[in-house]
Amino acid sequence: MADLKRSYQDWGAELWRAVFAFSGGDAAITDDAVAEAFAQAARLGNGIRNLKAWTYSVAFRYATSELRRAKRFESLDPQIQVAAPDPSSTGVQEILEHLGKLTLAQRKAFLLRDVFGFSNREAAVLLGTSDVSIRVHVHAARKRLRGVIDESES
């Protein structure tokens, strides 16, 4: 239990930010996903080999399920109130809007790789996929985001 608490303190906020961005800025889904991941980890105890990868996987899976259940995975609401100090000055709403144009797989890979700085291998472990899959999704996400940003600037 002490390891779980230490893990939450060490990288719980990082997980929360990743799920928050993935969910399109939905703090309720993010809170529930992170809480559920750590609650499940507490129930399983020492049966988890890689706690960080397992927790990321559970949190993203939970958030994906909630987004689908709410029928929001195709078009995220750009009017979501973002819990950031000053969303207008940081462009958070615009970023979340752009991220909403990506597929769920592209969004997860892009956020872990390009926003949070994980290597392809680390992101693959966290998502339970291959390095190649991460590279493919990140490449597609970058290409799609370039197109979306170019459109919005014209």
What band does 127 get if pLDDT is binned at 50, 70 and 90? confident
Select the more confidently predicted residue: 72 or 127: 127
From the list 24, 30, 90, the residue with the least C-alpha distance to 59 is 30
Q: Which domains does the chain have, with CATH numbers?
A: 2-153 (1.20.140.160)
In contact, 54 and 41? CB cutoff 8 Å: yes
Count of alpha carbons within 13 angstroms of residue 114, beta-carbon side: 18
This model's pTM is above 0.75: no
pLDDT recorded at residue 141? 92
The span from the CA of 61 to the CA of 49, in Å, is 18
Query: What contacts 112, CB < 8 A, 6 or more positions away?
Result: 18, 56, 118, 122, 123, 126, 127, 134
Select the more confidently predicted residue: 93 or 10: 10
Q: What is the pLDDT of residues 48-68, one digit of tens each?
A: 889 999 999 999 999 988 888
Range of lowest pLDDT (67-71, 73-77, 118-122): 73-77
Report residue 28 as tokens.
């309720």
What band does 47 get if pLDDT is binned at 50, 70 and 90? confident
